[in-house]
């Protein structure tokens, strides 16, 4: 799936930590529909707080609808499968 120009710009200009997100698709059906706030991100995982729970989600197995200040975009986890700082550098050069 190719990301739209808007989604690329949103990813390049924003840190994911602190943004609200929802699991749209997952290899684990029990996670679909989970709604919360991203509290941490590593190369392979995203941690999301939903209520009192903090769940560690494998980026390879989820698609997230992330609410950026610019709007909400569906982002397949495979598209952000890298360290956050490397993603920002790489994407910023694409949207300049």
CB 77 within 8 A of CB 86: no
Q: Who has greater pLDDT, 94 or 68?
A: 68
Q: What is the DSSP string of 40-79?
A: EE-SSEEEEEETTEEEEEEGGGEEEEEEETTEEEEEEGGG
What span, in angstroms and rounded, lies between the C-alpha atoms of 71 and 28? 26
Range 5-95: architecture per CATH:
Roll (2.30)
**94: pLDDT strictly greater than 70:** no
The domain limits of the chain are 5-95
Q: Yes or no: say if 11 and 71 are a contact pair by the CB < 8 Å rule.
A: no
pLDDT tens-place string over residues 35-86: 999 999 999 999 999 999 999 999 999 999 999 887 888 988 988 888 888 8
For the whole prediction, is pTM greater than 0.75? yes
């Amino acid at each position: 799936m190719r990301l739209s120009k808007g989604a690329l710009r949103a990813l390049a200009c924003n840190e994911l930590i602190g943004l609200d997100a929802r699991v749209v698709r997952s290899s684990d059906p029990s996670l679909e529909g989970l709604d919360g706030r991203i509290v941490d991100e590593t190369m392979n995982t995203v941690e999301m707080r939903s209520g009192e729970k903090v769940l560690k989600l494998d980026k390879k197995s989820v698609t997230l609808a992330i609410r950026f200040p610019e709007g909400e975009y569906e982002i397949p986890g495979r598209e952000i499968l890298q360290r956050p700082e490397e993603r920002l550098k790489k994407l910023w050069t694409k949207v300049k």
